[in-house]
Amino acid sequence: MANRMTVHMNERPVYDILLEQDFSALPKELESFHLEHRKICIVTDSNVAPLYLEEVKNLLALCCSQVISFVFPAGEEHKNLDTVRELYETLILAKFDRNDMLAALGGGVVGDLCGFAAATYLRGVSFIQLPTTLLSQVDSSIGGKTGVDFDAYKNMVGAFHMPKLVYENIGTLKTLPPEQFSAGMGEVIKHGLIQSRDYYEWILAHKEAIRSMDMDTLEKLVVESNHIKRRVVEKDPDEKGDRMLLNFGHTLGHAIEKLKHFELLHGECVALGSIAGMHISAKRGLISMEETKRFASALSWFGIKTSVSGLDIHSVIEATANDKKMDSGVIRFILLNEIGQAFVDRTVTQEEMEDALQYIFD
Ligand SMILES: NC(=O)c1ccc[n+]([C@@H]2O[C@H](COP(=O)([O-])OP(=O)(O)OC[C@H]3O[C@@H](n4cnc5c(N)ncnc54)[C@H](O)[C@@H]3O)[C@@H](O)[C@H]2O)c1
Ligand SMILES: [Zn+2]
């Protein structure tokens, strides 16, 4: 059974998130966009293309006048302006105009890059998201944040640009490498921690079914996470308030990610940062240390490392200070009042961070 929810901005419906177990409903979903005389360009990467491009191309051909594709090499290192430039070239050569559309078929790298090209090509064309990783289904495809990296700076150039549709085929998760699934679980559990104790407990109670990729359980998992992300972005579309809560685990997580030269996956770093965030919350007496341990063992169950080695505490703290500079000198840390309730705190001290890092260091 299909699951559908609508994302609103300023009380107005903007786009639907649809959850399916295959791609077959795609032509019907696109009917309302009247693409009979429109072109569509499927943007995807070199890992996803051999798996799903042909199938999606054939389905889109049923409702669009012309379907072309743009495939770039997989990996964060290609989420940059050079790739965007090649995509612009492809669109110009195929004479894409303002009425034509892009479709992001892949993980967050594809979604962010395709969305950015859609936001900027001819001052903005429509695009749809067809996310194929757990992370992109629960997180990056929703909310309209698009962008690319610039030199060593992650997501340095970007734009807010809402998709017309997010079509999540959770069947694609079956081909996802296990470490990518685990990294996505890091963000999923985070959704529970920051917004819903019930969901958090549900995840822990269904961990076996999740790990064995039971499709009905995964469907419930993705839907619940989508509800949480949707609620947060609806309340705060431009990331001025509540949306910051999604950054739980990200202050130290990003610093670790950077110092590890992106050898660890983003979700793994966020998981480490989340343990540190729980540790600080526990030390302040907001939650118990037992909860922190329980969270860490849940992460381990899903194959996520709960400690990191080869890093120096002071370098990590220094790296968070770089984020701080961009934020008028105040470090904004997300902590937990209780499981299911996060808040923004501006008073986390260096000692608290050191202590928390000590806890996650091997
Ligand atoms: N826009 C946002 O709000 C937002 C939020 C979080 C993260 N992000 C961005 O998302 C990116 C990370 O996304 P990601 O984790 O999806 O990484 P990714 O797009 O690099 O995908 C991970 C890997 O899995 C492969 N892959 C994708 N789908 C597959 C499938 N179904 N079967 C087999 N292989 C598949 C990809 O080719 C890639 O090698 C980062 O660039 C991050 O900055 C954006
Ligand atoms: Zn993240």
Q: What is the pLDDT of residues 40-86, one digit of tens each?
A: 999 999 999 999 999 999 999 999 999 999 999 999 999 999 999 99
- Gap from CA of 186 to ligand 2 centroid (Å): 9
Tell me how far CA of residue 160 lies from CA of 117, 154, 187, 238, 239, in angstroms. 11, 16, 21, 8, 10
Q: Which of 283, 296, 279 lies closest to 186, judged by CA? A: 296
- Gap from CA of 37 to ligand 2 centroid (Å): 38
Q: For residue 134, what pLDDT is reported? A: 97
Residue 79 CA: which ligand is closest? 1
Query: Does residue 159 have its Cβ closer than 6 Å to ligand 1?
Result: no
For residue 279, the surrounding DSSP H or E stretch is: helix 266-283
The conformation of residue 213, written as its DSSP 8-state character, comes to: T
Q: How far apart are CA 98 and CA 96, in angstroms?
A: 7
Query: Does residue 133 have its Cβ closer than 6 Å to ligand 1?
Result: yes
Query: Does residue 107 have its Cβ closer than 6 Å to ligand 1?
Result: yes
Low-confidence ranges of the chain (pLDDT < 70): 1-2, 323-329
Q: How far apart are CA 146 and CA 87, in angstroms?
A: 15
Hey, what's the torsion of the CAs at 17, 159, 231, 207, to 10 degrees? 70
Query: Does residue 149 have its Cβ closer than 6 Å to ligand 1?
Result: no
Q: For residue 324, what pLDDT is reported? A: 56
Tell me how far CA of residue 60 lies from CA of 31, 102, 110, in angstroms. 10, 11, 18
Best mutation site among 83, 136, 168 for ligand 1 pocket (most ligand atoms within 8 Å of CB): 136
Query: Does residue 161 have its Cβ closer than 6 Å to ligand 1?
Result: no
**For residue 103, which phi and psi values (nearest 5 degrees)?**
-130, 120
| Residue 246, both tokens | 């999604």
- Gap from CA of 314 to ligand 2 centroid (Å): 23
Q: For residue 172, what pLDDT is reported? A: 98
Q: Across the chain, where does the E strand assignment appear?
A: 3-9, 12-20, 39-45, 66-72, 101-106, 126-131, 145-150, 153-160, 165-169, 333-338, 341-345
Q: For residue 46, what pLDDT is reported? A: 98
- Gap from CA of 277 to ligand 2 centroid (Å): 14
Q: For residue 112, what pLDDT is reported? A: 98
Radius of gyration of the chain (CA): 20
